[in-house]
Copies of this chain bind each other. A is one copy, B any other.
Amino acid sequence: MGEQEGRSVCLVIGAGAGIGGSVGARFAAEGYHAVLCRRSDEAGLLRLVEGIRRNGHDATGYLLDVAHDGAMEERIESVERDIGPIEVVVYNIGAQIGNRSLDETPHRTFELGWRLGTFGLFRVAKALFPRMVERGGGTVLVTSATAAVRGNAGQHSHAAAMGGRRLLCQTLNAEFAAQGIHVVHVLVDGAVDAPDTLGRMLGKDAFEALRAERGSRDALLRPDRMAETYLHLARQHRSAWTHEIDLRAWTDVPWFNSNGIGRSVAL
């Protein structure tokens, strides 16, 4: 890994076949070393890493359980030591578990939502921001969801986790923006064409049917196109930073006009 030492790193936490993988690949194409982390599916991770390398760009992959105390801190430490300074973090961990009534939401599920959705980002900031401040800056792109701005039926765990995370982004900016760290809350307000999240939630057949119906007319959010906006945000000049942005397909009704009906697959 010698020749890559010192390369700027784009660390993707939550790198599946979807937003995480596409954004990682996009940053790699710009010269970043993409470090892709995900909880499971080593084969899928390898495919993403090799896809990036085949295009002549740099990538490394790790399995990482964000809910496991210490794991993320150790990974950040080792990436900084062995690969290079983490310039960009894409925090792409969702906490969506589908709609579940209160009765179907045990205490441990509610807690896990918080651990992944809220506490994980806090831990990244604790582990990484002192380094970023010392280096004069950094960028954190937080993939967020409709549930970050409004509750809805069955979203007890998800909305509490995402709503807390959105305000955490604001407190982090309040303390760190003027120290050069740029945190962006990216409100993904619609169904994403992502096999590893939406695909798993719907099942293979329903997902392919949805793709056939909506994908052909760009009526699903396309991760490769979203990646262009992620890249733009990371490149914004510090005189004109964005802290919150929404993204949805042209055909999608925004969250404030929607009850999820007709958007049954809304993430």
On A, residues with C-beta under 8 Å from B are 101-103, 107, 110-111, 114, 118-119, 122-123, 125-126, 129-130, 147-156, 159-178, 180, 182, 193, 218-222, 225-226, 228-229, 232, 235-251, 253-262
Contact = CB atoms under 8 A, between A and B. Distances in A.
A45 to B, nearest CB: 24
Contact of A156 (B168, B239, B246): B168
A129 to B, nearest CB: 6
A250 B178 contact: yes
A160 B257 CA distance: 16
A183 B241 CA distance: 20
A116 to B, nearest CB: 13
A247 B242 contact: yes
Given A153-B171, A173-B254, A174-B152, A245 B245 contact: yes
A250 B239 contact: yes
A229 B236 contact: yes
B129 A118 contact: no
B241 A243 contact: no
A232 to B, nearest CB: 5
Contact of A150 (B222, B239, B257): B257
Given A110-B122, A151-B171, A163-B166, 15 more contacts: A111-B119, A122-B160, A148-B167, A150-B256, A153-B175, A156-B175, A161-B164, A163-B168, A178-B250, A218-B238, A222-B239, A240-B249, A245-B245, A257-B260, A259-B259
Contacts of A153: 171, 174-175, 257
